[in-house]
Structure 1
Amino acid sequence: MEKSLGFSNFLTQLDGVGISVLVLLLTLSVASWYLILTKGISNFLANRHAEAFLKRFWGAGSLQEVNSTLHEGSGDNAFAQLAHLALEAAADSEKHGLQKLAAAGGASEFITRVLRNGLDQEATRVENGLTVIASAGSAAPYIGLFGTVWGIYHALVQIGLSGQGTLDKVAGPVGEALIMTALGLAVAIPAVLAYNTFVRRNRIWLARLDAFAHDLFVLIAVGAKNNSSAGDERQLRVVAPAMNPAIAPNERRS
């Protein structure tokens, strides 16, 4: 009796619609679990690499040292890639000035756009795959419910044809039909939990990245200002003696 009401018997009772529902649930389950595992491992490694890079970044003596570290191949995380983009934009703006259309608004605006584009690209990357997980979490219960309703319909048809509505005749078909609901919930619950976890992680991750982008902009802007001030001071030291008539020629030559 137990064998006749087992899962294998349930599979043998499925028609084309039931098999389609079962295959769809299995596909959603495989896809969601694949994304859950791959994104979980990717997020774990990204956090480790980011912490290591930030420790090196704030321990560096200058932005030039950070830039040399990035060129050595340590840009394996979003923070390092954002720093690379910002430093490349600053160097490009210093080299070409306002000759390029992208830097027409000034160096500050150019670096701001580069940082914002980097943040947008990272936001797009971390959200990749969440649509599938969210779809599995929201649609799987309804797909399982549809399979249950379809199974109950066939059970009632069989009961009507046999003319026997006793409990032993109803329990088996209805119980087998309810397996679809259990399968739908088994697919949906992990997907919903994983989706909420990933959304929270992405929100915190992007907030940290946005704060780091602000720090990068301040460091680059202050560095450019200091370089400009140093250049103006050197220029004043050269020009001032030539413009001061109180200084003797011999003193000017010295």
Structure 2
Amino acid sequence: MSDIATNVIVDGTLNTLIGASVVTWALILVKGVQHLRISYHHRNFSKRFWSAADIQAASQLPDQHGPAARVAGIGFSTLIETDSGASTHDLEHTWDRQELLDRRLRQQMQKERGSLESGLAVLATIGSISPFVGLFGTVWGIMGALTNISKSGSASLEVVAGPIGEALIATAVGIAVAVPAVIGYNFFIRRNKVIWAFLDDFAIDFVHLALKHGFVIERAGSKSANAAARLTEISAAKKPASKPLHDELIAKEAHA
């Protein structure tokens, strides 16, 4: 076993572990920012949603972001769709309104879950294999060191300690990479469970609210359009008769 091959393998192992460490901390930073934003959006949305006068007012809340807001948006659009009166003959609309609403909410929750879990598989993989990658570099380095020792014909402490000590660095680096990856993975898994429980409770409450209001919700602006149409009808009813009709009424009265 040549010194060049040993150095290349050990150095490659260390570079791989350093790259895995960079990926780990990048994912921890990205996921940390993601969870901070989700926590902020959930607090803001929950306060505004439950402070609304009714479900109609809640459906028109502006500038709402976050998983809960997107789940609510799917629910509102489903209620509007089922109340539009359009005839549909596909399998998706064979359920009643409540079943369709529940299905759409669950689908959106699964999408949000996929977004929350993105990147966690990488953290789990790095946390699992990094110690073994480091151990591989250590074993290879020790094999090279023992080969060189056998060639030199000396087994003194000065000859053995240096090469073997350098080889053990790979194991230490592997453990140093694995520890934050495992901690980050466990932390975000726990946070995901909290967010998922929040979304699940919110979806159940949303279905109950929709059931309470008969699964009926109007499109934004439909009330103003209906009011305008009503005003037009009233003004038309109050408008005086046209001149030809007026002349005809006068002629009938004169004839009488």
Q: TM-score range by the shorter chain?
A: 0.7 to 0.9
Aligned equivalents of 2:38, 2:141: Cα separation in 1: 46
Partner of 1:58: 50
Ranges in structure 2 where 5+ consecutive residues have no aligned partner: 218-256
Aligned equivalents of 2:85, 2:25: Cα separation in 1: 49
Q: CA shift at 1:77, angstroms?
A: 0.3
Matches within 5 A, 1:1-254: 15-69=7-61, 72-74=62-64, 76-96=65-85, 99-101=88-90, 102-224=92-214
Count how many residue pairs are aligned between Structure 1 and Structure 2: 213
Matched-pair contact (CA < 8 Å) for 1:97–1:103: no
Ranges in structure 1 where 5+ consecutive residues have no aligned partner: 1-11, 228-254
Q: CA shift at 1:203, angstroms?
A: 0.9
Runs of 4+ deviating beyond 4 Å: none
Q: CA shift at 1:20, angstroms?
A: 2.0
Matched-pair contact (CA < 8 Å) for 1:145–1:180: yes
Q: CA shift at 1:97, angstroms?
A: 5.5
Aligned equivalents of 1:127, 1:140: Cα separation in 2: 21
Letter in 1 for 2:172: A
* TM-score, length-scaled by structure 1: 0.80
Aligned equivalents of 2:113, 2:95: Cα separation in 1: 25
Secondary structure at the residue paired with 2:95? Answer: coil
Aligned equivalents of 1:111, 1:27: Cα separation in 2: 45
Letter in 2 for 1:48: Y
Aligned equivalents of 1:131, 1:27: Cα separation in 2: 16
Secondary structure at the residue paired with 1:68? Answer: coil
Aligned equivalents of 1:222, 1:17: Cα separation in 2: 67
Matched-pair contact (CA < 8 Å) for 2:130–2:175: yes
Aligned equivalents of 1:226, 1:20: Cα separation in 2: 63
Larger RCO (CA under 8 A, 6+ residues apart): 2
Identity percentage of aligned residues: 37
